[in-house]
Structure 1
Amino acid sequence: MAKTALLAKLTAKEGMRDDLLAVIADLGMSNVAGEPGTEIYAVHKDQNDADVVWFYELYSDQDALATHGGSDQMKVVGKAMGEFMAARPELIFLDPAAAKGLDF
């Protein structure tokens, strides 16, 4: 099966990006550690917007993405992040084509 990727933009309430990042560090990162199909789960701070966080996620296949998104732990993470979010996450689904350091 083909790998699948996700680019997610999370916009925190004004001045609450660090709070949002703390939830991601405390709950989100520990959750993905046990997901064998989650190959990359990288969080980035936007350099031009102090309230925005970006995720790049790479999964072994669509089933791995569905397992991640549908897990009970991700529901806990989503609820915990909710109090710091200004809007719903913006999700862009991708089909990887080429990359340095990654096999497709």
Structure 2
Amino acid sequence: MSRIAQFARFSAKPGRGTEVVEALEEAFLAAESEPGTQVYAIHVQPDDPNVVWMYELYESEQAQRSHSGSQATAALRAAVGELLDEPLTVTRGAVHHEFGLPGA
């Protein structure tokens, strides 16, 4: 069974990046207790504080689907909806090669 990585890009309206981060921090707290969630990292783009990236790692496709269908994820999408300047982009991939990640 392959682990699934997920990358999300949140492009906030001017001056709203901090609010996006705050919404992600709420989701972070929920993700900590989700079975199968191995990494949940929030990154602010250094040259543009209104662009926030999130990296997630799940032990399986089932764990990723469970997370994406959770109430916490629905609440996050609702919370950031009005804050974004462009649609949220999410990309998923099966982990192919790795080192330094949990369980590697």
TM-score by length of 2: 0.90
Task: Name the structure 2 match of 1:16.
Answer: 16
Q: CA–CA distance in 2 between the matches of 1:30 and 1:7? A: 18
Structure 1 residue runs of 5 or longer lacking an equivalent are: none
Task: Name the structure 2 match of 1:84.
Answer: 83
Q: What's the % identity of the aligned pairs? A: 27
Q: CA–CA distance in 2 between the matches of 1:11 and 1:33? A: 24
Task: Name the structure 1 match of 2:102.
Answer: 102
Q: How do 1:16-35 and structure 2 match up within 5 A?
A: 16-25=16-25, 27-35=26-34
RMSD of the TM alignment (CA)? 1.3
Report deviation, 1:73.
2.1
Structure 2 residue runs of 5 or longer lacking an equivalent are: none
Aligned length: 103
TM-score by length of 1: 0.90
Q: CA–CA distance in 2 between the matches of 1:102 and 1:38? A: 10
User: Which aligned runs of 4 or more in structure 1 are off by greater than 4 angstroms?
Assistant: none
Q: CA–CA distance in 2 between the matches of 1:75 and 1:101? A: 27
Q: CA–CA distance in 1 between the matches of 2:43 and 2:81? A: 18
